């Protein structure tokens, strides 16, 4: 492409700014920046894509690990809990079996009494009791199968009380039973029988010097009853069972266990389980059997649970006392071990509570309240752990001094560091991150090389393109300066050549258009004048149509206002002072109120058609006509009256294919009584003494016009009016009127205005309401019809 220059000798300065303004420089710059941005964006998107892929892969792996870990821990925990339940249950069943044997002996006392008395005389069963004056107790010979200890308060002057001796003799046959129960079944430290509260001697196997051991470990035990000293409150609880109105049937499982404690006799951590024995009539507690269950193996099995590297298991009572946990677990949970009371006064309980932990997370642990495995995560000392909890089988528990027996549920827990359970996930994430760094680095190098090659190609192509573009630019400049005869020589067939052809054609058209511009201006002027005449004619027609429509709306508005009761008509109603007000939001409103008289009955109505405007106004007139017609027809049943009004309005709505409906409440007044039917806004009543009542009408019907038959939903209530009482009916246009801040007027403010003015006339009350509403609205637009009707009995 070429063009004849007007001044071939003209020289342009070759400054840096000028070079930047050249098209070739711009295209190289723009292309370079675009490619560079695209490359950077590509790297960023690629990196984010890899990151997203990493995240999604990690999420999938984590989901799989979550499911697998949860299933593994849950199954392992349930198996371990079942094992513990079985071990404890075996001991409880041994105890229940022994209690069953002794209870049978008690129930069949008359039948077995000869055997019991005779058995005590046999050498194998005979108890050779010896008195120890220093300790003030009686105990049999160590060669006998079981030790029998009778405390000093059960004897006198070195002799066992006769009734106590008789009770000891009657249980001599246990020398044949207790050793077998102690040897077989669950791993038991001791098994024994304790007499009733008034003679609590003890028969225990295997034989041990029980009396001397008690003197050494439990000073003062011989000064008070065995139950009261060692297990205060346990006998009282059993006695309360017998007093239960439902009897012992309310306690089918009577096995009662203590909390685990450190056996003062060197037996390690033990737990005592009792089973009470009852008189034949089941109303008196007559003794108990018990066993000391060593928990060493059970606790060892809990301590030996291996969960990953730093995981552990524990057993806790319902009150959060952790009695079985290894040293690592106790350190992790930051538990504090305290010696329980009882070294000198009864059994001392092991105390190591969650709530006393030095870690706030552990101290707030809540044990499960159902039998499902509770699986959760928690933070301990800044590290996340997975914890799974499972309740064990219930048993009656004695919690300590003076405590009553209550259901006890131990809880087994597994605690595992989350990082150990998710080690494979962390390794995978680390590998993915390393691969991402290599990929991004390689992508950056490839992008830089591609950018350099591309910029070289752009530079070579731009040099060829800019020659033709410079010619086009020069031709355009000359055309701008008024030289419409300029033409460009086209010597290429690419897009720039086509642009040159288009330029020449455009120059020809501009030259021709310029020559004929005056003629074209005249033609356009004439066309605009004709269009202006048509617009003026159309505006005149629209003005006439607006006048016609305004007249029709004005007629509708006047018609609507004409059917409202006139003040003179309201003044003729005896016994009532009535004042009404209605202001439509548009030319025609949708609110309705009316006051009609017929044969001593005053029919008062108020309603609100959905929306406002001409259609709502027409529906309001339909309601007024239907009400007046039914009243003229002497229809007196309020519910039937409202049902017929609904049916007429519904059928008219269906005929005119409208979706409108309205709320409507009708009031029948006669001799101081006001009967309400139909659903609308609340009825506000201010009594003569200033008491304010609000009568809700939502339960007295349904909106009119939504269904053909609403008779089943129509209700009715009666209100008695005394002289001076004021009743106010209103539409939601009052309570929902908004000020410039869009705050609604509200029913509370309306009630306040009525209460302040209730001693005034109905008209003055009405005026006070309207003035207050308009003051609230101010210059804001009123969006809904405003209607109020004030009725005062005089």
If pLDDT is split at 50, 70 and 90, which confidence band does 557 have?
A: low
Contact 665, 700 (CB under 8 A): yes
Provide the 10 A C-beta neighbour count for residue 118.
Answer: 13
Is the separation of the CB atoms in 235 and 405 below 8 Å? no
Cβ-Cβ contacts under 8 Å for 243 (sequence gap 6 or more) = none
What's the pLDDT tens digit per position in 417-435?
Answer: 988 877 766 666 677 777 7
Tell me the two tokens of residue 97: 């079996």
Residue 139's pLDDT is what?
A: 95
* Bridge partners (DSSP) listed for residue 204: 147, 192
pLDDT in tens, 668-681: 999 899 999 999 99
What gap in Å lies between CA 561 and CA 584, rounded to an integer?
A: 10
Q: Rounded mean pLDDT of 271-288?
A: 93
Per-residue model confidence (pLDDT) at position 8:
41
pLDDT at 587 over 60: no
Residue pointed to by tokens 């009609």: 596
Count of Cβ atoms closer than 10 Å to residue 572 Cβ: 8
Distance CA 732, CA 496 (A): 72
Q: In this model, does residue 18 exceed pLDDT 90? A: no
pTM for this predicted structure: 0.49
C-alpha–C-alpha distance, residues 191 and 292, integer Å: 6
Any idea which of 274-278, 655-659, 770-774 has the lowest mean pLDDT?
655-659
Residues 6+ apart with CB under 8 A from 76: 414
Long-range CB contacts (within 8 A, 24+) of 528-534: none
- pLDDT for position 15: 54
User: 746-775 in b/e burial notation, b at 16+ Cβ within 10 A?
Assistant: ebebbbebbeebbeeebbebbbbbbebbee
Angle between helices 109-119 and 162-170 (to 10 degrees): 100
Which residue has 């202006």 as its token pair? 532
The DSSP code sequence of 432-476 is HHHHHHHHHHHHHHHHHHHHHHHHHHHHHHHHHHHHHHHHHHHHH
36 within 8 A of 448, measured Cβ to Cβ: no
Q: What is the pLDDT of residues 678-701, one digit of tens each?
A: 999 999 999 999 999 999 999 999
Residues 65-71, mean pLDDT to the nearest whole number:
81
Which residue do the tokens 């499972």 mark? 390
Mean pLDDT is lowest, of 305-314, 525-534, 730-739, for: 525-534
pLDDT of residue 342 exceeding 50, the answer is no
Q: Torsion angle of alpha carbons 173, 177, 183, 187, nearest 10°?
A: -110
Angle between helices 517-562 and 614-632 (to 10 degrees): 20
* Cα 628 from chain centre: 54
Name the residue among 514, 507, 470 with its Cα closest to residue 485. Answer: 507
3-state secondary structure of 765: helix
CA-to-CA separations, 348 to 231, 260, 261, 652, in angstroms, rounded: 10, 9, 6, 88
> What mean pLDDT is predicted for residues 284-290?
94
Strand partners, 268: 263
How many other β-carbons are positioned within 10 Å of the β-carbon of residue 146?
Answer: 26
DSSP 8-class letter at 134 = T
Sequence-distant contacts of 469-476: CB under 8 A, at least 24 apart:
469/23, 469/496, 470/23, 471/1, 471/2, 471/3, 471/500, 472/1, 472/496, 472/499, 472/500, 472/503, 473/23, 474/3, 474/5, 475/3, 475/503, 475/507, 476/503
pLDDT at 614 over 90: no
Query: Residue 714 has what pLDDT?
Result: 95
679 close to 702: Cβ distance less than 8 angstroms: yes
The two three-digit tokens of residue 134, written as one number: 């220093």
């Amino acid at each position: 492409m070429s063009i004849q220059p007007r001044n071939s000798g003209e020289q342009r300065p070759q400054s840096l700014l000028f070079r930047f303004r050249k098209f070739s420089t711009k295209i190289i710059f723009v292309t370079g920046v675009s490619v560079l941005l695209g490359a950077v964006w590509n790297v960023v998107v690629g990196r984010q894509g890899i990151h997203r892929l990493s995240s999604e892969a990690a999420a999938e792996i984590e989901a799989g690990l979550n499911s697998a870990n949860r299933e593994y821990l849950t199954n392992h925990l349930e198996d371990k809990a079942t094992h513990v339940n079985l071990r404890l249950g075996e001991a409880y069943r041994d105890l229940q079996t022994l209690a069953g044997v002794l209870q049978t002996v008690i129930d069949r006392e008359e039948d077995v009494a000869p055997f019991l008395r005779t058995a005590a005389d046999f050498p194998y069963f005979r108890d050779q009791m010896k008195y120890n004056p220093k300790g003030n107790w009686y105990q049999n010979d160590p060669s006998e199968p079981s030790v029998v200890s009778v405390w000093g308060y059960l004897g006198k002057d070195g002799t066992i009380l006769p009734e106590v001796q008789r009770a000891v003799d009657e249980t001599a046959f246990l020398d044949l039973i207790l050793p077998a129960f102690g040897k077989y079944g669950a791993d038991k430290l001791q098994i024994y029988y304790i007499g009733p509260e008034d003679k609590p001697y003890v028969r225990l196997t295997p034989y041990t010097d029980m009396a001397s051991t008690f003197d050494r470990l439990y000073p003062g035990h011989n000064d008070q009853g065995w139950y009261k000293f060692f297990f205060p409150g346990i006998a009282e609880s059993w006695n309360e069972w017998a007093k239960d109105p439902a009897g012992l049937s309310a306690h089918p499982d009577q096995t009662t266990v203590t909390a685990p404690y450190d056996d003062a006799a060197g037996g390690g951590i033990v737990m005592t389980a009792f089973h009470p024995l009852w008189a034949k009539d089941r109303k008196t507690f007559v003794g108990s059997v018990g066993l000391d269950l060593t928990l060493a193996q059970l606790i060892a099995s809990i301590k030996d649970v291996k969960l990953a590297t730093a995981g552990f298991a524990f057993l806790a009572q319902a009150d959060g006392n952790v009695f079985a946990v290894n040293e690592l677990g106790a350190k992790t949970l930051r538990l504090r071990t305290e010696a329980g009371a009882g070294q000198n006064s009864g059994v001392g309980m092991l105390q190591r509570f969650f709530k006393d932990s030095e870690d706030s997370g552990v101290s707030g642990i809540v044990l499960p309240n159902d039998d499902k495995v509770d699986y959760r995560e928690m933070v301990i000392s800044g590290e996340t752990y997975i914890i799974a909890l499972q309740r064990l089988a219930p048993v009656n528990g004695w919690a300590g001094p003076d405590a009553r027996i209550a259901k006890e549920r131990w809880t087994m827990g597994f605690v595992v560091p989350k990082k150990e359970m998710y080690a494979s996930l962390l390794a995978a994430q680390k590998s993915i991150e390393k691969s991402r760094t290599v990929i991004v680095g390689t992508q950056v190098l490839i992008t830089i090389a591609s950018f350099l090659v591309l910029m070289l190609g752009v530079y070579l192509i731009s040099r060829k393109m800019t020659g033709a573009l410079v010619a086009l630019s020069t031709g355009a400049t000359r055309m701008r300066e008024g030289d419409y005869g300029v033409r460009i020589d086209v010597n290429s067939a690419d897009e720039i050549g086509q642009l040159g052809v288009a330029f020449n054609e455009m120059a020809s058209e501009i030259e021709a258009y310029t020559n004929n511009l005056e003629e074209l201006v005249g033609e356009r002027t004439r066309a605009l004048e004709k269009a202006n005449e048509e617009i003026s004619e159309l505006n005149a027609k629209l003005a006439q149509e607006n006048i016609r429509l305004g007249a029709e709306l004005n007629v509708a508005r006047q018609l609507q206002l004409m059917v409202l009761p006139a003040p003179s008509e309201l003044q003729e109603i005896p016994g009532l002072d009535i004042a009404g007000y209605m202001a439509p939001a548009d030319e025609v409103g949708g609110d309705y109120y009316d006051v009609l008289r017929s044969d001593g009955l005053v029919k008062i109505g108020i309603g609100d058609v959905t929306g406002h405007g001409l259609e709502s106004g027409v529906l309001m007139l339909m309601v007024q006509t239907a009400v007046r017609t039914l009243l003229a027809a002497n229809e007196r049943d309020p519910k039937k009256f409202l049902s017929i009004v609904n049916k007429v309005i519904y059928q008219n709505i269906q005929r005119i294919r409208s979706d409108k409906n309205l709320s409507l409440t009708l009031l029948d007044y006669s001799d101081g009584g006001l009967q309400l039917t139909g659903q609308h806004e609340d009825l506000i009543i201010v009594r003569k003494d200033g008491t304010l009542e609000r009568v809700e009408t939502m339960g007295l019907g349904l909106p009119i016009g939504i269904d053909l038959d609403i008779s089943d939903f129509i209700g009715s209530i009666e209100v008695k009016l005394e002289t001076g009482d004021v009743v106010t009916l209103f539409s939601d246009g009052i309570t929902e009127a908004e000020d410039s801040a869009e705050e609604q007027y509200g029913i509370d403010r309306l009630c306040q205005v009525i209460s302040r003015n209730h001693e005034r006339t109905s008209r003055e009350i009405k005026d006070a309401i309207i003035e207050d509403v308009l003051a609230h609205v101010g210059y804001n637009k009123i969006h809904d019809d405003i209607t109020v009707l004030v009725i005062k009995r005089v």
